[in-house]
Amino acid sequence: MTVQTLYTAATGMQALETKLDVIANNMANINTTGFKKDRANFEDLFYRQYRLPGAEDADGNRTATGIEVGLGVRVGSMQSNHEQGAFETTSNPLDLAVEGDGFFRVIDPNGDFFYTRAGNFGINANQQLVLGSAQTGWVEASGITIPPEAVDVVISSDGQVQIRTQNSATLQNVGQIQLAKFINPDGLLKLGDNLFKETDASSTPQLGAPAQQGFGAVRQGFLEASNVEPVNELIDLITTQRAFELNSQVVQAGDQIMQTVANLRRFA
């Protein structure tokens, strides 16, 4: 039925429009620290069954196949790619990157926990280690404070935070950074501001010291860049655009057939 052709092609255009939105978001965040690119997954809709596979023919024999027509497509899910992004050298002692699995854990003013791969930390007026955000004071959840007399901060790969003061060149330990990891990081809720929140799908976080028990190592003076690959996104953009155009041509073809049928009825 030609009318069904219009609706089926429309589902393809709607799904591809969503994919274009995903690609646009990936490209927009190509320079966002710690950003993880997304992918739209498609799934076909249910089918109109005209003849089921294995039905009996006129002689009582079982058919090897059936007759079924699909009714379109929809977006089945969105998945984030949590592959490691490239390291950007900053030489800022409070810039941190995670090499491997794990998220930094931060707390908002209400005491809720959030997780991030962006390690652009700073120090607030209370000498607390905080995420560099102009929107909210996201305090690093390990409770680390940097004394005002500190002249140097050294953070080791296992998360030990040490300082030097003007009166002593000996390193003094002031805290330990802990990381969090999840059984299903795809289940984390993206909130913006480079933050994730745990959900029932992600599981509860496992906490541990960096560079131990499967947790990634902390790299001081580096930031993790976005893992968006511009060339792949551009190729995806072109193929999605062409697929959208093909679906629009199916709509035009269906419309032309309906017009032809209408003309035949008029001149019959």
Say if residue 106's pLDDT is above 70. yes
Average pLDDT estimate for 228-241: 96
Average pLDDT estimate for 133-162: 87
Say if residue 8's pLDDT is above 70. yes
Q: Rounded to the nearest 5°, which phi and psi values hold at 121?
A: -90, 160
Q: Rounded to the nearest 5°, which phi and psi values hold at 115?
A: -135, 145
Query: What pLDDT, on a 0 to 100 scale, did the predictor assign at position 265?
Result: 61
- Measured between alpha carbons, how far is 167 from 20 in angstroms, rounded to an integer? 58
Percent of residues, the chain, with pLDDT higher than 90: 63
Query: What pLDDT, on a 0 to 100 scale, did the predictor assign at position 266?
Result: 64
- Measured between alpha carbons, how far is 227 from 208 in angstroms, rounded to an integer? 24
Average pLDDT estimate for 98-114: 93
Say which range, 11-25, 208-222, 246-260, has the weakest mean pLDDT: 246-260
Say which range, 20-24, 115-119, 132-136, 211-215, has the weakest mean pLDDT: 132-136
Say if residue 155's pLDDT is above 90. yes
Cβ–Cβ under 8 Å, residues 164 and 150: yes
Average pLDDT estimate for 189-206: 93
Concatenate the DSSP letters of all residues of the chain into one string.
Answer: -HHHHHHHHHHHHHHHHHHHHHHHHHHHTTT-TT---EEEEEEE--EEEEE-TT-B-TTSPBPS--EEEE--EEEEEEEE--PPPPEEE---TTBEEEESS-EEEEE-TTS-EEEES--BEEE-TTSBEEE--SS---EETT--B--TTEEEEEE-TT-EEEEEETTEEEEEEEEE--EEE-S-GGGSEEEETTEEE--TTT-PPEEE-TTSTTPPEEEETEEEPP---HHHHHHHHHHHHHHHHHHHHHHHHHHHHHHHHHHHHHH-
Average pLDDT estimate for 4-30: 94
pLDDT band at 210 (very low <50, low <70, confident <90, very high): very high
Query: What pLDDT, on a 0 to 100 scale, did the predictor assign at position 267?
Result: 60
Query: What pLDDT, on a 0 to 100 scale, did the predictor assign at position 268?
Result: 55
Query: What pLDDT, on a 0 to 100 scale, did the predictor assign at position 134?
Result: 65
Say if residue 78's pLDDT is above 70. yes
Picking from 202, 190, 255, the residue whose alpha carbon sits closest to that of residue 29 is 190
Count of beta carbons in the 10 Å neighbourhood of residue 69:
11
Task: Report helix angle 2-28 to 230-267, nearest 10.
Answer: 160
Say if residue 1's pLDDT is above 60. no
* Average pLDDT along the chain: 90
Average pLDDT estimate for 42-66: 83
Query: What pLDDT, on a 0 to 100 scale, did the predictor assign at position 120?
Result: 93
